[in-house]
Structure 1
Amino acid sequence: MAGPQETESTQITTEAPAKPATPEPKKKAARSRRAKAEATQPAVSKRSRQSPKAAEAPAPATRAPRKTYSEKERAHKLSQIEKTIVGGATIKNAVGQAGISEQTYYQWKKAAAPASESDDLKDLLALEEENKRLKKMLAEHLRKENAELKNKLGLA
């Protein structure tokens, strides 16, 4: 039979390995994308939102609200870009100077092309109609003049 000192030493040795001397690093749990995004954004307290210095400080980079352009503004920007391109600039530079993206430029150009073609077609049809009208007027005027000359010469 073991003495009281031996049982205490066995109990101590059994308890000692249960608690290691150096703590093991905790494993990180996987976070969702939303949690990661929130963790990367700086925390803003109510006090800093109300302070005048916070209002003067530059805001973090955020997207500006979407700007909508009228048809006239679009046409103006497209003509401005075309002039810049004719001047020797690249499309990328010309679009950047106009303040729109390349995708927007191509979408506007695609939308404007059929409208301008139909306008050209309307103009062409109007010119053809005017030509017909003027030819008829000229023919009538020449007939009258020819008839007057025949009467003066006594050929008719």
Structure 2
Amino acid sequence: MADESNAGPVAAAVATDAKVKEPTAKKRRSRPPQKASAEPAQSKTPAAKRRAYTEQEKSEKLKLIVTQVIEGNTLKDAIKSAGISEQAYYHWKDVAKPVEQNDTKGIEPHPADDESADLVQLEQENQRLRKLLAEKLGAENAELRKRLGLD
């Protein structure tokens, strides 16, 4: 058996490991001192106020943007030149669509008697032409099926 009294180097190694594993205290950082302002807090300028546009101004800006895009400018440049944000542009555009659609539904006047007669005549001619086209396509389809031997 090994001599138990000969534990010198092992005891020294354990002692050095214990010193290494001791937790070290973390340094705490102090907050930097706040700068003293020369002016009192009340005189600071408030954030920019939100600009409320009227419906007329909104529609004018939307028309301006559309004309600039048609002229060849990019959409982003047109929006910037109008002085609004992209978010505002898309919001206004979405809000304006349903209003325009609702305005055009009930405004369309009823056709006069001669206009309604023309409309009926055009519808009849349209039906006649559709029948002719259907017959012609049916005949061509039958001929192709006959050539291919599918009938």
Under a length normalisation based on structure 1, what TM-score does the superposition of the two structures give?
0.47
Under a length normalisation based on structure 2, what TM-score does the superposition of the two structures give?
0.48
Which structure has the highest helix share of the two?
1
